[in-house]
Structure 1
Amino acid sequence: MHSDTHSHDLPHEPHPDVEAHGWTAGRRGVLTGAAALAAAGIAAPALADDDVELDDLGAGRRRRSQLRLTVLGTTDLHGNVFNWDYFKNAEFDNATHDDIGAAKVATLIKAARKKFRKRGPVMLLDAGDTIQGTPLAYYYARIAPITAGGTHPMAAAMNVMKYDAAALGNHEFNYGIDTLRTYQSQLDFPLLGANVVDPATKLPVFPPYVIKKYRLKSGRRLKVGVLGLVTPGVAIWDKANVEGRMEFPGLVEQAAKFVPEMKKKGCDVVIVSAHSGADTSSSYGDALPYPENAASLVAEQVPDIDAILVGHAHKEIPERFVKNAKTGKDVLLVEPYYWGMRLAVMNLRLEWLGRKKEWKLVKARGHLLNSNTAKENGKVVKAVRAQHDKVVAYVNAPVGTSTQRLEAARAVVEDVPIIDFVNYVQAQAVKAGLTGADAALPVLSIAAPFSRSAVFPQGQVSVRDVAGLYIYDNTLLGVKITGAQLKAYLETSAAYFQKVTGTGPFTLAQVTNAKTTTAPNGIPDYNYDVVAGLDAKLTYDIDISQDASSRIKNLAYGGTAVADGQEFALAVNNYRQSGGGGFPAVKTAPIVYNRQNEIRQLLIDWVIANKTIDPAQFASVDWRLVSGSTQITVS
């Protein structure tokens, strides 16, 4: 039993003098047929067994000439093994009562293998973003890093689940190349990246594809090639980790290079595992010549691809077909949501062409299975339980102290220190990441009161306390805006307030959550943004005796009125930058910072690094609610 994986270079740092072809290995076995690797002193990856003996389908001449290939897929697991919310210290739940985690989806995989294996080969693939996203993943990258020993919990879980291959995701690079290479070395299956290349040789530094061989009792063989691709955005988002070491050309360009090679090696079926969304777009605009989300383009522009497992976009695509422009053939695309909420199932019916002695795809269908129908798989639970328990204890343990109690209860009507803390950390991160002429821009930041119940207690503060302040999985960006755009942004935010007469006292309910035609139940708290300056104060009044769009008064930066043409770098979350909330300018503004860092983790990292949360370091009262020129009272 063996597996073929091909790379023009090696799945380690670039070594341009070595090429390896026809790698073969048993599970966790030593590679054979790769003397060049040993001669170069470079360790090769352990690859999955794949040469499996299978029955042809039932009786009858036509049925004996047909075979079903089933491809199961996950993507964007983001460090989720258990159906657990570490920040709430409780089982995960959401409005639609989804369940998450590799342990749940493993049960679906086991059942699908049992059901479909009677009809033909069953493969299991992943489309990337695996080792980042939860405290479980963070702990074994930063607190007890796997580079110092131990197995990554995602490697432990996925090895039990017996994946055949996985594509790299952009978040695989977040913790640096050493962590990624260590994780790769712990896998029983290849980690693929056809468009992760050496800057000098332009050759892949991870295996671009794997070829799986299946042997039938009839004597026929089936060869299935799996190509791995990742979004090129890694070059921007993890520039500090990859610059000078790896480059990320386009998905279409690299697929066009390797799919013909796979066909020449006899692949009857070609599957792409693509960590790149189906709907063509780029959060980084034209900063790179290759689109961030290009799975549909790969299907349309590269011939001889049969199906694509899609990732990165965190969307649910049970079945979509894209017609290849050159062959007219429909290519199946499936995306199974994220965090293990769904399992992708792609059923490919193949027919044997006796004269050509090859298999031809005659029908493809896709659907998704919901993990909330499954119990957690005992073997996966056993493999990761001890690590999970250790991380639960860590999340609930103190990571710093606060000099005073900080609350978010009145953040919607007052400039409170706990929101200033968010803006301070965000603005610091953006300022540190600005380059060139942009480095001279004054930095502002936006933050919304996501949870009125958020509190930093005086004294010890835990990871859960910090996470309770920032309850969404947003990432941080910086955009360049003008003074005029800043004022328009603040006017949009100020629409959150109800119009009042007089100076009060008013209750919170009387001034907040204004009802509009687009928000008939009231504008939610998360659509009220406070804007603050880093190196100088951004001050303004919000006159809620005025109509919406005419409320921002006395807008000044560093004590000087903001000019329409004045330029700023504004720290925003990805929800805002992508258009969430309908705020002006930020969606189309030039992006000057984007490292794909989770804001919640940035806050936690800041507390861990600085130990003490002291409002004297970051807090000031920079905005107020007024009626005319008089501050209003909210009881």
Structure 2
Amino acid sequence: ALAAAALVAGTAPMAAAAPGDGPGRGAEGARSATFTLVSTTDLHGNVLDWDYFRSQPYAAGSEQGLSHVASAVEAVREDRGERSVLVVDNGDSLQGTPLTYVAARGSATTGPVTATGEEHPMATALDAIGYDAQVVGNHEFNYGLDLLRAYEQDLDAPLLGANVTDVATGEPALQPWTIQRVRPTGGGKPVQVGIVGLTTPGSQVWDKQNVEGRLAFGDMVEAAQRYVPEVRAAGADVVVVLSHSGRSGASSYDDTVLPPENVSDAIAAQVPGVDVVVAGHSHRDLPEAWVDSAVEPGKRVLVTQPYRYGASVTASDLHLERVRGEYRVTGADVEELRAGDFPEDPAFTALMQPWHQRTLDYVDTVVATSATELSARDARWRDTAIMDFVHDVQRDAVRQGLAGTPDADLPVVSVAAPFRADAVFPAGEVTIRDVAGLYIYDNTLQAVRMTGAELHDYLEHSARYYASVPPGDPADPTSLSAGTTPDYNLDQLAGVSYEIDLAQPAGSRVGPLSIDGQALGDDDELVLAVNNYRRSGGGGFPHVASAPLVYDRQQDIRQLLIDRAQETGSIDPADFAAVDWRLVADGEPLFG
């Protein structure tokens, strides 16, 4: 019934199964049955199919949001039978849109949900759809533990995190697992489905300010090896692991200090008793993969990863065989259901309308008038005024914060990355939507003390973003990226002048540094204004995580930008724009 809506459909065995000897039965009287696991991941606050940065629905072919998911889940339940379907989410739901920002931080007219006592809108949304379990993702910790605990209380489904430990007690900080009961479509006794939740240890780095001394994040594979046998012993017939982690690949932090970031395939291969792993975190569209178990010969484990933001769900029909009263999984059919193939659910949309309107009111607030249009279109290859606005606000806040301290006389250098190439401040009225479209992450401002040599190393790390440009060759801006570094790790600096020579190999591209026309010596000290993600080690930049912290007021950078705009009432490049850096090839400027 749903095949027309499926992008991917396939069948594969989890272990060798004997030929059937009649409808609903396998060899030696084994009885077959099926239940369906519906999965989402990395919703990031996308409740409705609405782009708050552009004030319009997402384009055809790019539909997303829980309003579509609600219809897709309902269709699966109607097709398979409501009691034969489990719905799970793989984490990262509390951050990502202005809607979740307003819930967490409040607006000019409403307080945060932790102050008002209102139910968190993401809990309202997931409860309305009827989710059966959710694991915490790393972004669940962005707004602090008070909000997370309030959300946990609001959510009907259990919020899992088996590898998250309370530092004070040594006990699990979140429920490690749950067992959900489901009726198989082929009849027979209910199936006990154990669900273990695991999250990437990177939160220890990325949200250090919120979790340090309070929570510890253990190795995901080791936690699975502990808790999967436990949930089996508690009566689970089938075990699903919700793994907020990429399938495999390098960590974005130093994994000699913390356990690795992307281990979903390793869980499937190395942990006995696992039948399905739901992967996520990497925002990739990987609906179906099969991993050979290294600990159970002949067994294959399904790894399914739906697309982020509710752009798709995966519906995995798990085929079971019951022998002597016990179930085992023999195979699975996986369908990926695209949001665009299902209409927005009208009842769900109506339920979320008050939060949607509150968010529209927030982002439509005019905060300033811009003297001219400022665009981030060229920000990856040219110093732009719109990025200088971010730098100026950050440097000013740090300078004010350092007044009267031993570091007050040190030069302040700012770090920022071009998060969105389509960000723009229009000429004329600038709204919160425009500012939020430029600075999309919920980072806070910090500052560290560094030396000139350390800053040079830092810039060399950032310059790896670019591909090589031979001298004399015309540079194409669209092909400048080497393709291995995301835009949010392309750090650009203000308050220091430098050139990046793309004719040189990575690691030897950054020329001499200077501040106000004076050469910056290797031992000269400065203060680097940086966001908390970077300062905690995100992106693996050298020196910054270990440098002395000299400023941390827990100020949200986006709000600092909004505050500056509101206080001055105008955004004029003449007040802050300066060309601090440029790209060259063998000393010749590439873009003027």
Using the size of structure 2 for normalisation, the TM-score is 0.76
Picking from 359, 362, 372, the partner of 1:394 is: 362
> What is the distance in 1 between the residues matched to 2:419 and 2:176?
45
Q: Considering only CA atoms, is the larger Rg found in Structure 1 or Structure 2?
A: 1
- Whether contact under 8 Å (1:484, 1:565) holds in the other structure is no
Higher relative contact order, structure no. (Cα contacts within 8 Å, ≥ 6 residues apart)? 2
Matched, 1:291 2:260: yes
* Deviation readout 1:361-418 (Å, 9 max, x if unpaired): 11134331111111001221121012102211211112x3358556348977985543
- Whether contact under 8 Å (2:35, 2:183) holds in the other structure is no
> What is the distance in 1 between the residues matched to 2:466 and 2:588?
20
* Deviation readout 1:576-598 (Å, 9 max, x if unpaired): x999xxxxxx767456299xxxx
- Whether contact under 8 Å (1:169, 1:312) holds in the other structure is yes
- Whether contact under 8 Å (2:248, 2:265) holds in the other structure is yes
TM-superposed CA distance for 1:607, in Å, is 2.8
Match of 1:73 in 2: 39
Pairwise CA RMSD: 4.8
Q: 1:334 to 1:578 in 2, by over 3 A?
A: farther
Give 1:483's aligned amino acid. H
- Whether contact under 8 Å (1:466, 1:603) holds in the other structure is no
Match of 1:507 in 2: none
Picking from 515, 524, 534, the partner of 1:557 is: 515
> What is the distance in 2 between the residues matched to 1:219 and 1:490?
61
Matched, 1:270 2:223: no
1:116-515 matched pairs, under 5 angstroms: 116-117=80-81, 121-143=84-106, 144-147=111-114, 148-214=116-182, 220-286=189-255, 288-328=257-297, 329-354=299-324, 357-398=325-366, 400-401=367-368, 404-405=371-372, 407-408=374-375, 417-424=385-392, 443-448=413-418, 451=421, 454-455=424-425, 457=427, 461-469=430-438, 481=454, 483=456, 486=459, 514-515=475-476
TM-superposed CA distance for 1:246, in Å, is 1.9
Match of 2:52 in 1: 86
* Deviation readout 1:175-231 (Å, 9 max, x if unpaired): 111211111212221111111221133221221111123467976342111111111
Picking from 543, 559, 564, the partner of 1:605 is: 559
TM-superposed CA distance for 1:625, in Å, is 9.2
* Deviation readout 1:230-283 (Å, 9 max, x if unpaired): 111112222222222222111112212211111111211011111111114311
* Deviation readout 1:81-112 (Å, 9 max, x if unpaired): 11110000011138xx2211001111111111
> What is the distance in 1 between the residues matched to 2:314 and 2:64?
14
Picking from 529, 541, 545, the partner of 1:592 is: 545
Picking from 92, 97, 100, the partner of 2:64 is: 100
Give the 3-state SS of the residue equivalent to 2:128 in structure 1.
helix
> What is the distance in 1 between the residues matched to 2:24 and 2:462?
69
Equivalences, count: 533
Give 1:67's aligned amino acid. A
- Whether contact under 8 Å (2:442, 2:557) holds in the other structure is no
Match of 1:539 in 2: 497
Give the 3-state SS of the residue equivalent to 1:339 in structure 2.
helix
Provide structure 1 residue ranges, at least 5 long, that are not aligned to the other structure: 1-57, 501-512, 521-525, 580-585, 595-600
- Whether contact under 8 Å (1:397, 1:463) holds in the other structure is yes
Match of 2:6 in 1: none
Give the 3-state SS of the residue equivalent to 2:86 in structure 1.
strand
- Whether contact under 8 Å (2:444, 2:557) holds in the other structure is no
TM-superposed CA distance for 1:561, in Å, is 2.2
> What is the distance in 2 between the residues matched to 1:307 and 1:132?
26
> What is the distance in 1 between the residues matched to 2:172 and 2:148?
15
Q: 1:288 to 1:431 in 2, by over 3 A?
A: farther
> What is the distance in 2 between the residues matched to 1:447 and 1:592?
17
TM-superposed CA distance for 1:60, in Å, is 5.7
Give 1:135's aligned amino acid. P
TM-superposed CA distance for 1:572, in Å, is 9.0
TM-superposed CA distance for 1:121, in Å, is 2.0
Picking from 77, 82, 85, the partner of 1:113 is: 77
Provide structure 2 residue ranges, at least 5 long, that are not aligned to the other structure: 1-21, 402-406, 482-486, 548-554
Using the size of structure 1 for normalisation, the TM-score is 0.71
TM-superposed CA distance for 1:74, in Å, is 0.4
> What is the distance in 2 between the residues matched to 1:541 and 1:243?
37
Give the 3-state SS of the residue equivalent to 1:210 in structure 2.
strand
Give the 3-state SS of the residue equivalent to 2:216 in structure 1.
coil
Give 2:386's aligned amino acid. I
